[in-house]
Amino acid sequence: MSLNRTRNFKFDWITIVLFLLLVGFGWLNIVSASSSGEITSYFDMSQPYGKQSVFILFTFVLIILVLSIEAKFYERFASVIYLVSMLSLIGLFLFGKTVNGATSWYGIGGFTLQPSEFAKFATALAVAKYISDLQTNIKTLKDQLKTALIIFVPAFLILLQNDAGSTIVYAAFFFVFYREGIPQIYLLLLLSIILLSVSALKFSVLITSIIVTVLIFVHHFFLKKKKGSILQPIFITLACIVFSFGVYFFYSNILQPHQQDRISLWLRLEKDPVKLEQMKRTILYNLNESEKAISSGGVTGKGFMEGTRTIGKFVPEQHTDYIFSTVGEEWGFLGSSFVVILFVLLLIRILHLAELQKSQFSRIYGYSVASILFLHFMINIGMVMGLIPTIGIPLPFFSYGGSGLWGFTLLLFVFVKLDSNRINEW
Amino acid sequence: MRKLLLFSIIVLVGITFIARLFYLQVYTGKAYNIYEDNAIRKVFYYPKRGYVYDRNGELLVANQPSYDVMIIPREVEPLDTLEFCSLLKISKDDFKKKFSRANNYSPRLPSPFVPQLSKKDYAVLQEKMWKYKGFYIQKRSLRDYQTTIGANVLGFIAEANQGEIEADGFYQMGDLIGKQGIEKSYENELRGVKGVKFIQKNRFNRDIGPFDDGKQDTIPTPGKDIIVSIDAKLQAYGEMLMQNKVGGIVAIEPSSGEILSLVSAPSYNPNLMVGRERSDNYIKLRNDSIHLPLIDKGLLRMHEPGSPFKALVALAALQEGVVDENFSVRCSGAYNYGGRRPMGCHCGTGTRNIFDGISESCNSYFATLYRRTIDKYDDASHAMDVWSSHIKSFGLGDYLGYDLSIGKKGNIPDGTYYDKMYPDFRWRATTNISNSIGQGEVLVTPIQLANMMAAIANRGHYYTPHIIKSIEGQPIDSTYTKEHHTSIDKQHFEPVIQGLFDVYNKPGGTAYFLQVPDIEICGKTGTAENFTVIDGVKTQLTDHSIFVAFAPKENPKIAIAVLVENGYFGARFAGRIASLMIEKYIKGDITRTDLEKWVMDYTLEHEYEKPTSGKPFRINANSGLMTVEQYERLKKIENEQTQTDLQ
A118 & A200 share domain: no
Domain stops at, among A239, A254, A269: A254
- B29 in contact with chain A, both atoms CB, cutoff 8 A: yes
The one-letter amino acid code at A292 reads K
- B508 in contact with chain A, both atoms CB, cutoff 8 A: no
- Give chain A positions within 8 Å (CB) of B30: 298
A150 & A294 share domain: yes
Start and end residues for every CATH 3.40.710.10 domain found in chain B: 261-609
CB contact residues (below 8 A), chain B span 200-219, against chain A: 200-203, 208-209, 211-212
DSSP H helices in A35-163: 48-68, 71-76, 78-95, 115-132, 141-160
Indicate the number of domains in chain A.
2
A141 & A224 share domain: no
Contact B3 A179 (CB under 8 A): yes
pLDDT digits (tens, 9 = 90+) for B328-379: 988 888 888 776 678 888 877 888 899 988 988 899 999 999 999 998 888 8
B110 cis-preceded (ω within 30 degrees of 0): no
- B199 in contact with chain A, both atoms CB, cutoff 8 A: no
- B108 in contact with chain A, both atoms CB, cutoff 8 A: no
Q: Which residues of A141-150 are buried (b: 16+ CB within 10 A; e: fewer)?
A: eebbeebeeb
- Paired with B530 in beta bridges are B541
Distance, CA of B647 to CA of B644 (rounded, Å):
5
For the cut 50, the answer to whether the pLDDT of residue B637 exceeds it is yes
Chain A: residue whose CA lies nearest to B18: A337
B3 vs A179, A348, A356, CA distance in Å?
Answer: 6, 12, 12
Domain of A202?
A: 189-254
- Give chain A positions within 8 Å (CB) of B209: 37
Calculate how close chain B gets to A298, using CA atoms only, in Å.
4
Task: Say if the ipTM goes beyond 0.90.
Answer: yes
Instruction: Give the β-pairing of B468-471 and B226-228.
Output: antiparallel
- Paired with B559 in beta bridges are B252, B550
Contact B2 A381 (CB under 8 A): no
On whether residue A272 sits in a domain, the answer given is no
Distance, CA of A109 to CA of B334 (rounded, Å):
120
- A382 in contact with chain B, both atoms CB, cutoff 8 A: yes
Calculate how close chain B gets to A313, using CA atoms only, in Å.
6
**pLDDT, tens digit only, all 426 positions of chain A:** 344 444 455 899 999 999 999 999 999 999 988 876 667 788 888 888 999 999 999 999 999 999 999 999 999 999 999 999 999 999 999 888 887 778 888 888 777 889 999 999 999 999 999 999 888 888 899 999 999 999 999 999 999 988 888 999 999 999 999 999 888 889 999 999 999 998 998 888 889 999 989 988 888 888 777 767 888 888 889 999 999 999 999 988 888 887 888 888 888 777 777 777 777 777 778 888 888 889 888 888 888 888 888 877 788 888 889 999 999 999 999 999 999 999 999 999 999 999 999 999 999 999 999 999 999 999 999 999 988 888 889 999 999 999 999 999 999 999 999 999 887 655
Nearest to B211 among A296, A308, A351 (CB): A308
Contact B25 A316 (CB under 8 A): no
Q: Which residues of B482-498 are buried (b: 16+ CB within 10 A; e: fewer)?
A: eebebebeeebbebbbb
Distance, CA of B243 to CA of B632 (rounded, Å):
14
Distance, CA of B172 to CA of B159 (rounded, Å):
9
pLDDT of residue A424: 67
How many CB atoms within 10 Å of residue B618?
10
- A343 in contact with chain B, both atoms CB, cutoff 8 A: yes
B266 cis-preceded (ω within 30 degrees of 0): yes
Distance, CA of B261 to CA of A31 (rounded, Å):
68
Nearest to B39 among A309, A328, A343 (CB): A309
Chain A: residue whose CA lies nearest to B208: A312
pLDDT digits (tens, 9 = 90+) for A60-105: 999 999 999 999 999 999 999 999 999 999 999 988 888 777 888 8
Q: Is the pTM of this model over 0.95?
A: no
A143 & A16 share domain: yes
Domain B261-609 is in which class?
Answer: alpha beta
- B20 in contact with chain A, both atoms CB, cutoff 8 A: yes
A340 & A390 share domain: yes
pLDDT of residue A6: 47
Distance, CA of A81 to CA of B232 (rounded, Å):
98
Taken in order B171, B172, B175, B178, is the CA torsion positive or negative? positive
Residue B70: phi and psi, rounded to 5, are -100, 155
Is residue B559 within a helix (H) or strand (E), and if so which, with residue range? strand B558-564
Mean pLDDT throughout B453-477?
A: 91
A224 & A326 share domain: no
pLDDT digits (tens, 9 = 90+) for B535-561: 888 889 999 999 999 999 999 999 999
Distance, CA of A77 to CA of A93 (rounded, Å):
25
A177 & A198 share domain: no
Mean pLDDT throughout B158-182?
A: 88
Domain stops at, among A216, A235, A254: A254
Contact A351 B10 (CB under 8 A): yes
pLDDT of residue A3: 43
A167 & A195 share domain: no
pLDDT digits (tens, 9 = 90+) for B568-620: 988 899 999 999 999 999 999 999 999 999 999 999 998 898 888 888 888 88
Contact B28 A296 (CB under 8 A): no
Q: Can you name the CATH fold of B41-228?
A: Penicillin-binding protein 2a (Domain 2) (3.90.1310)
Evaluate whether B63 touches B144 at the Cβ level (below 8 Å).
yes
> Which of A311, A315, A355, A381 to mutate to test binding with chain B, by most B CBs within 10 Å of its CB?
A311
A386 & A420 share domain: yes
What is the separation of C-alpha B246 from the centre of its chain, rounded to a whole number of angstroms? 15
Nearest to A178 among B2, B39, B211 (CB): B2
A58 & A25 share domain: yes
- A178 in contact with chain B, both atoms CB, cutoff 8 A: yes
Contact B200 A308 (CB under 8 A): yes
A111 & A194 share domain: no
Contact A297 B25 (CB under 8 A): yes
Evaluate whether A337 touches B18 at the Cβ level (below 8 Å).
yes
Residue A390: phi and psi, rounded to 5, are -65, 115
Contact B202 A314 (CB under 8 A): yes
- A140 in contact with chain B, both atoms CB, cutoff 8 A: no
Distance, CA of A368 to CA of A391 (rounded, Å):
21
The one-letter amino acid code at A160 reads L
Q: What is the DSSP string of B51-95?
A: PEE-TTS-EEEEEEEEEEEEE-GGG-----HHHHHHHHT--HHHH
Contact B2 A179 (CB under 8 A): yes
- Give chain B positions within 8 Å (CB) of A297: 25, 29, 32
A219 & A311 share domain: no
Mean of all residue pLDDT scores within chain B: 89
